[in-house]
Structure formats: C-alpha cells, structure tokens
C-alpha cells in the first residue's frame, strides 16, 4: 500500500457534476475512449461538486496570471473498470515496445513491468478503503492552452512513463528551454494550489482535492481524513 491509502475516508456523498465545456477545453472523444475504454456511454468529464467549484477558482486565477490562457482537461472521473483497462493497456504497450510475448513472461518479468505501470497508474482496487484517486471523482489530469489554442509545452506528455513526469524534473535546469518547461509547470501548480488542490508527487499533471492523496499531502499526517471515496459511474456511492 502507498502511504496515502492508510488515510481514513468519511464519505460526504457529494454528487458528481459535469464539467462545463464552455468553461474549459474538453477533448472529445476523450483520450481513453479513443483507446477503447468503456465508460458505459457516460462522459469522463465529471467531478465532485466542490472539486468543480475549486477548478473554476483555478480558472479565475489563471486569468489573472495569463489572461488569454485556458485550462484543458485531459481526464477527470475514471470508473474502476476504466482504471483496470488503462493498467492492462499500459502493461501490454510496454510488452509490445520490448517485443515481449505476454504469454511467456516469467513471474519476475511480470512483476517488474507492473512496477513500472504502477508508477503512474493507481491499482484498480474495488476495496472501499483504497479507491483509485480518479474513481472518487476528486482527481483531475490537466494542462494549459495558450492564446493561440496550442498546448503549453510542459517538457513531457501526460501519462508518460519516464522521469520527465516528475513535477520537479526541470527545477535545476540550466538550459533556457528546460527552464521554461519548469516555469510552465509552476504556473499550473500555482493556480491549482491557490484553489486548494494538491499535486501528485510523481505527476506534473495530476491534482486532487478531498481524496486520500489530497488529505495525506495536506500535512503528511495519517490522522487526516478524506471525504471522497469510490463513486459509481451513475453517481451512486457503492457503500452508501
């Protein structure tokens, strides 16, 4: 288990609400739908009610810093079955890239590859005590768009399996272009932390509010409490 998964959850039963496409850039169809993920006809662009309010606050903050920039949502609510799909997809992609036959992997090889996969993907657990962050409706993956409608270069792609995904990868860069990557990441961090979000320690694009990871990152105190657990694709809390 990861440290944040020891955090207690007291579910507040706040509903999932749609992310308005007139306020944010939403890719349609979404990235994982393009890969074949099954959202059962639903959209991934949902968040808990308070999380959306805070995202709107982040948008207002961005307008103060970069008046013509916008927030682009890459992914938000992710059912556990989609989480499992992406874990499997990433596992198979790594095997394909390395020309490995998944039917003939040794237990050690499988474990090693899954260790890489779980660097960016939470375990798709049905356990109500250890929900994947995105399955709570309180985690969001996002980036920024400039005044010309072009994605800001963050020096790495969302979901990239490399050291470049570390938020502070470019923090000590001496190259001017790489310093710009860090500056762009810091703008994203500033608007999100201003609004109460906390950033994933290993992913520059992932922010959350109200889930176990958020509660732990608030003060690294295991006595902290999260208020969002797993929520079903129809907004139904499995344990209500």
Per-residue pLDDT of 141-163, as tens digits, reads 999 999 999 999 999 999 999 99
Predicted TM-score of the model (pTM): 0.94
pLDDT of residue 239: 61
CA 236 to centroid of chain Cα atoms: 21
pLDDT class for 21, splitting at 50, 70, 90? very high
Extract the tokens encoding 178.
């790489």
CA nearest neighbour of 83 among 46, 125, 112, 130: 125
> Which of 23, 116, 183, 203 does the annotation list as catalytic?
203
pLDDT of residue 233: 80
**Statement: residue 131 has pLDDT above 70:** yes
Strand order in the sheet with 70-75: 25-26, 70-75, 139-145, 206-208, 198-199
Looking at every residue in the chain, the average pLDDT score rounds to 95
Extract the tokens encoding 159.
């979901």
C-beta separation of 225 from 7 below 8 A: yes
Measured CA to CA, the distance from residue 213 to residue 218 in angstroms comes to 9
**Statement: residue 196 has pLDDT above 80:** yes
pLDDT class for 232, splitting at 50, 70, 90? confident
Q: Give the chain's domains with CATH numbers.
A: 3-79+132-226 (3.30.1380.10)
pLDDT of residue 51: 98
pLDDT of residue 41: 85
Over range 205-228, report the average pLDDT: 92
Over range 56-80, report the average pLDDT: 97
pLDDT in tens, 24-61: 999 889 999 999 999 988 899 999 999 999 999 999 99
Number of H helices and E strands in the chain, helices first, is 6, 9
203: annotated active-site residue = yes
pLDDT of residue 240: 56
C-beta separation of 210 from 226 below 8 A: yes
């Amino acid at each position: 288990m990861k440290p944040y998964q020891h955090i207690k959850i007291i579910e507040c039963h706040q509903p999932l609400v749609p992310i308005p496409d007139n306020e944010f850039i939403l890719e349609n169809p979404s990235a994982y739908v393009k890969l074949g993920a099954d959202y059962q006809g639903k959209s991934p662009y949902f968040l808990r009610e308070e999380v959306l309010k805070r995202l709107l606050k982040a948008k207002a903050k961005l307008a103060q810093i970069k008046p013509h920039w916008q927030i682009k949502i890459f992914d938000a609510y992710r059912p556990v079955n989609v989480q499992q799909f992406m874990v499997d997809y990433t596992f198979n992609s790594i095997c394909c890239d390395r020309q490995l036959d998944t039917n003939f992997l040794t237990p050690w090889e499988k474990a090693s590859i899954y260790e890489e996969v779980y660097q960016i993907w939470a375990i798709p657990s049905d356990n109500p005590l250890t929900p994947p962050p995105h399955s709570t409706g309180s985690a969001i993956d996002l980036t920024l768009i400039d005044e010309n409608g072009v994605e800001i270069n963050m020096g790495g792609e969302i979901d990239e399996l490399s050291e470049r995904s570390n938020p502070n990868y470019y923090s000590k860069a001496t190259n001017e272009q790489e310093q710009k990557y860090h500056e762009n990441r810091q703008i994203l961090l500033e608007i999100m932390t201003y609004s109460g979000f906390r950033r994933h320690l290993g992913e520059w694009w992932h922010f959350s509010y109200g889930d176990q990871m958020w509660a732990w990152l608030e003060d690294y105190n295991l006595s902290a409490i999260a208020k969002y657990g797993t929520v079903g694709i129809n907004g139904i809390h499995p344990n209500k």
